[in-house]
Structure 1
Amino acid sequence: MSGVTDRQIIHGFIKALLAAIFWGISGTCAQFLFEQRNMDPAWLVSWRMMIAGSILVTFAIARKNSDVWKVWLKPHDGIQLLLFAILGMVAVQFTYFYSISLSNAATATVIQYIGPVFVVGFYAIKNRRWPSVLEYTALIMALTGTFLLVTHGSFSELVISEAAVFWGILSAIALAFYTIQPVQLLKKYSAATVTGWGMLIGGLSFSLYTSPWESSGVWDMGTWAAFTYIILFGTVISFSIFLGSLNYIGAQTASLLCSVEPLSAALVAVAWLGVTFTGMDWLGTFIILITVGLLTLSKKPKRGVTTDQKSKII
């Protein structure tokens, strides 16, 4: 990228990697809250979105030449933002966290990473073209990796529950929708504005179902630490530093580096929570990550900025 120094490129790499690690650890913190503190996933999703959304909207307002209010001046854009908040943000957050509660952070995160395959399928149908050889290869690898992850190579049984597989795949589909739907909004408004409003509105609307005013789980120092981490490091800070990395290394490279997320989730889950990750699990994980790499490298840079920005805020 012209005008960018080697030092800035290094800073960009570090920011993108830190964002991915923060997201991975956030999923493991959620698993800790679900398994050891009996917290309801829907309750956590509501508070995560409401608090993080409020912080992001406040940051967006404080920015120079802020566009945080402009999105509401055009009815069509406002409606699209509401759809993104409810059908995109709420869906991707809840399906992901619920999938964690049914399995573990590592497995849920890896399964969600097949989402880009659904994005490829959507654009193939929309543009009325057959996927390329590279995209077909990625599809086969994604299916193979997922098969190994949920069956360990057996054709007769699953190693995680059917519900965990179902919600994990729903999470990947929700991620695809969440990536595609706001593309037009992101051409007009900043990612901070779209994401901040999406989280805040999504959290407020979801709270009608979750009753967040009623406490959930067992609260102690560990609960507060994990909850605070998810809000600050797993959402606000990770989002900010990821966007900061785009200025130096571009969305394509930053998105590829974010493949570290499921690896960090797996390593922390194994070391902290004692999750058993077998050789088949690791093999399935690496195959899916190779899939993400193939799809990322196949993108044209001009197409990748907006979709990659949005696909990482989970």
Structure 2
Amino acid sequence: MTVRKVCIVSKTARYPDILERFAARGWQAEFRTLSARPSEDEVLAALQGVHGVIAGPEPYSRRVLESLPDLRAIARTGVGYDEIDVAAATERGVAVCTTLGTNDRAVADLTVGLMIALARGIVPAHADIADRGLFQRPNAIDFSGKTVGLVGTGAIGRHVARRVRAFDCAVLLYDVTQDPAFAREVDGSYVDFERLLRKSDFISLHLPLSPRTRNIINTDALMRMKRSAFLVNTARGGVVDEHALWRALSDGVIAGAALDVFEKEPLVAESPLRSLPNVILTPHMGGITAEAMRRAALLAAEHVHHLLEGSRPSSCINAEVLDHPQPIPANQS
């Protein structure tokens, strides 16, 4: 009998009871720690002989996948899969799952929190008191009643729309696929990208990273925004041209920005964004709450269980693999 081997490398999925659940099935499961920015070689060394992995943001390139012949299942504790070569995984019969729906409310909460922090100048006010000993009130505006433009109306964008409506904000929506029923629900309007840029007081990004969306916020887009507008990105770093944003923030083209994601993570020390007073920077923490991490870890473990037992998980990025499952390789003595 082949014993399933599972490795948990995601730093947000280290719950002992998950190991216990795998052990109760007679599987071998263990935590393995990778560095903050693991190389392909580090991933290869950690995952030799593993059939299923509960993954973080480490790279699963074609080279990595071709060098892990036993691997059959990758379950990401998150919704993004930028670091996974899905085409190569599909060719090799490796199923790829994410934990969609486990952290969308958490990301939406942070998004609205960042909007309010920008509007009220909360971060510079704190720095004035804590770092400089000053007690002065920042320039601030109401968040209530402003126009919020949402670029992307998937699960997170929808939760943001519902939250900002509680502040009596007008909602503009942009997406390649429109949902009139949702627009009616939030009393919002689908508009073209140009109109959203020109009319919004706050623009919030909720897009996957793809060739179409890369640098969707560039110099041209920033120039079309109001000078009083704020940009919030809790989606993927690559959808914003960071150099163009730095220039726009430095030159007063827009009023400010809040970024939870960056093109390279962690944000490089030499990034000029670090020195700007009108930007809030957070460490890709949108989906990182105790509750969301727990939900994601449990769902990822459930995905791995289904995939290695030959049943279908609740969702799969490359579902065609499930129609022609590859056998689990026999354990080597």
The normalised TM-score by structure 2 is 0.26
Q: Which has the higher strand share?
A: 2
Which has the larger Rg? 2
Q: Which has the higher contact order (CA 8 A, sep 6+)?
A: 1
The normalised TM-score by structure 1 is 0.27
Q: Which has the higher helix share?
A: 1
